[in-house]
Amino acid sequence: MAKITDLDKPSEKKKKSSSKKKSLKEHIEDEDEENKIDTTHLYADNLNGDVYTETNANPKAKVHSTEWMKILHGDPVEINPSLGQGMKIMTVAEWTSRWKQNDRFPDCLACGSTNTKEHHFTQTWCRGKKKFESETICMDCHMWSWRSYVDPDFLTPEEFDKIRWEKMVKENEEARKLARAKKN
């Protein structure tokens, strides 16, 4: 027969604390969640110039330009791989059904409607400078609205490195000339 010890008695067992102390990491993560800023549309805030706009009957971005022509002619286009496979003749509404509206630029530049869907968006941030492109289709007039922006002093990493290396080569060349002049 088993003997009941003091540890087995329910009244004397130590109660586990239900309010577990948070680790420092968990505490910091909770603070970050509370102070989190929605960065979804920061690409279009504090711009140093104007946003270039253009209205077109056909998409300017090459992403869907061939499909758009097929839609207009009633030719089959490729089905979104998440929905199936193969080709299908689609209406504009069916083709754009999975696209979403750009909440930062919801209006059509041609007719002013807010019934638009975005099919092309790219953004680049490099050393605090920004560049973006956005193209939306108006579901009312079927015109395409293009918006793009580039900070005046925006450089890609390749352009920045090229300038830096050219400057370094020039400084090196000048230092060599001075060293040669001192020898003579």
pTM for the full model?
0.60
Residue 154 has pLDDT above 90, yes or no: no
Residue 48 has pLDDT above 70, yes or no: yes
Q: Which residues of 171-184 are buried (b: 16+ CB within 10 A; e: fewer)?
A: eeeeeeeeeeeeee
Among candidate residues 98, 75, 97, the one with its CA nearest the CA of residue 87 = 75
- Give the count of beta carbons closer than 10 Å to the beta carbon of residue 119: 22
Strands 116-126 and 129-138 come out as: antiparallel
Q: How far apart are CA 115 and CA 34, in angstroms?
A: 33
Cα 49 to Cα 9, 75, 105, 180: the distances in Å are 76, 41, 17, 47
For 54-83, the pLDDT digits (tens) are 999 999 888 778 889 999 999 998 887 777
Instruction: Work out the percent of the chain whose per-residue pLDDT is above 90.
Output: 31
The ranges assigned to domains in the chain are 42-159
Residue 18: band (very low, low, confident or very high) from pLDDT cuts 50, 70, 90: very low
For 79-120, the pLDDT digits (tens) are 877 777 889 999 999 989 889 988 888 999 999 999 999 988
